[in-house]
Amino acid sequence: MQSRRRRRTSILVAAVLAVAGLGVDAQDRMPPLSTDQLTDEQKQALAEFVAARGQPTGPWIALLRSPELMKRTRGLSDYLRFESVLPGYLREFVILMTARQWGQNYEWNAHLPLAIDEGFSAEMAQAIAEGRRPEGMVEEEAILYDLVLELQRNHGVSDVTYDRAVERFGEQGVVEAVSLVGYYTMISMILNTARTPLPADAVPALAPFPY
């Protein structure tokens, strides 16, 4: 009964969002800028980004509106995504949970293949997409899941969850896990505000989910 009620609620929320212009098909508010629209600062930020990562996509197109923020954000992104003390599949675990929290289909679509490549199971990803606790998690996955979920739902972390996380990941690992949540929350907010569309061949995987 509860799951049926949740599905009905999700359908209703999706309808409300569509009427309000907030659905997945809503118009892109911040499309790519043409060369003649760019300021000198934007041209410099874009050139640096292209040299490091190639052509910007997704949130970086919106971030180019603030070229200095774009440059500084890339530095944080580089560390958290590629150099964090957390293993790659756990980083992607956090990113998927954050995308789910914000109903962010672009972020989910970009990171699900990366998570699978890192060894994340499709079954666990499906559970997260549906707002369920994944079954069969190993200890470090369960600890990280509890840490992120409590932070998202309660805006804080209990002593029990914190102590388990520090024992498993160390203080640096906990700080970086929380920072991943914060960073991808920011990215989700930018994408949601800009209404950045999915790639043309992508199908939305996340329905609106009332936490």
Per-residue pLDDT of the chain (211 residues; tens, 9 = 90+): 444 434 433 433 343 334 334 444 468 999 999 999 999 999 999 999 999 999 999 999 999 999 999 999 999 999 999 999 999 999 999 999 999 999 999 999 999 999 999 999 999 999 999 999 999 999 999 999 999 999 999 999 999 999 999 999 999 999 999 999 999 999 999 999 999 999 988 889 997 654 4
Q: Which token pair is 67?
A: 């070229």
pLDDT of residue 152: 95
For the chain, give the number of residues: 211
pLDDT of residue 72: 97
Q: Which token pair is 146?
A: 């509890």
Q: Measured between alpha carbons, how far is residue 57 from residues 62, 97, 105 in Å?
A: 9, 21, 14
pLDDT of residue 38: 97
